[in-house]
Amino acid sequence: MSPVFLIVSAPGKAILHGEHAVVHGKVALAVSVNLRTYLRLQPSSSGILRLHLPNIEVFASWDVSTLLPLRLPRAADPRDLNKLDLALFQRLHDFTGFTDEAPDTHSMAVLAFLYIYLSIFAESRELPAFTVTVCSELPTGAGLGSSAAFSVCLSAAMLSVQGAISLPPVHPESTARWRKEELELINIWAFQGERVIHGTPSGVDNAVGTWGGILRYCAGNITPLSRVPMLRILLTNTKIPRSTKLLVAGVRDKIKKFPSIMAPVLDSIDGISITCEQTLQEMANDATPEHYSVLEELMDINQHHLNVVGVGHASLDHLCRVTLARGLHSKLTGAGGGGCGITLLRPDTDSLVLQSVTRELRDCGYDCWETSIGVPGVQLHSASSVKGDVLSVLNSY
């Protein structure tokens, strides 16, 4: 294990179709979003392990000698990471002083960092000292996979330092990707980070952060779609807080109350996901205006269905009205009840139209990003391939 300086990034995630229906065995399509989390790992000879997360105001450090007693007696087998090591998890709670009651973003990020660090370096003769600095373009708590992108970056960086995966050569002003089997290992460890933070995650968010592109999720099975197009979107965060747990429970109650009404709605959402998947695969060969028309119609239909199952919100209705008035089509993404929505942009969408829509939505207090979906997953970067504002943050700590 040799000291190594590196910069990695992983994308966020959105649900294109199938949210809520996926809980009931239907198909969902999850897509990578080109708002990325960047992580810089800088070796240190000081014997101090540092974690800097300026986005959420976490600045923590530990003498590695104080972490040695917390380590596992043996390294965890990555092929058998079916659950957390509860003994290590409890030791970390005791060590940090964090409680299980009302865990916040700060404490969960620190716990995930230390859990992955102590697990990956469980059998190293000495614990390595380095500084990890993270700069994220993803808002926290918006359902866009910010914690998964963080866990993916941590896993890729630490596995590289430990020597469990290679360091692919990166040319100036470029990025590089790991091999398939190495990505599988990154994904396994990132899922452990998600377990620390969320308890019982589906595994979709970390899979999207690792593989990128578009993933099909159904009944616990995650399958990356091959050869799919990158699409432009406007991503809007209404900033309306909501409880995913309560929204999921509300849908379940409605299904129990009106089974003969709700079952066809869930079947229709399933059909939307399948039709969208087929359309995207056709677009990978030759995208036509007709393909975009199909995608727009599917978004409109699905948004109506999501209102029917009870996860709509006035803020999302307003988003759909504002964009439709300019000929653009939107739907919620994720849990609903507020949160985020996505608007499909055609290649020839007029920039003035987009500016007008964005201005009106921001005047409502929403945050908007013009970005793309279907982008690559976790990447290794040369410093010159990182955007200037991001690099400035990474180099500030």
Q: What percent helix, strand, coil does the chain show, rounded to 5? A: 45, 20, 30
Beta strands 130-136 and 48-53: pairing type? Answer: parallel
Please give the structure tokens belonging to residue 170: 């990166």
Spatial distance between the Cα atoms of 367 and 236, rounded to a whole number of angstroms: 6
Q: Which amino acid is at 58?
A: V
**Enzyme catalytic residues:** 147, 205
Spatial distance between the Cα atoms of 187 and 149, rounded to a whole number of angstroms: 11
Q: Are 55 and 140 in contact (CB under 8 A)?
A: yes
DSSP code per residue over 41-100: EEE-SSSEEEEEEGGGTEEEEEEHHHHGGGS-SSPPPGGG-SS--HHHHHHHHHHH---S
Spatial distance between the Cα atoms of 383 and 386, rounded to a whole number of angstroms: 6
CB count, 10 Å around CB of 281?
15
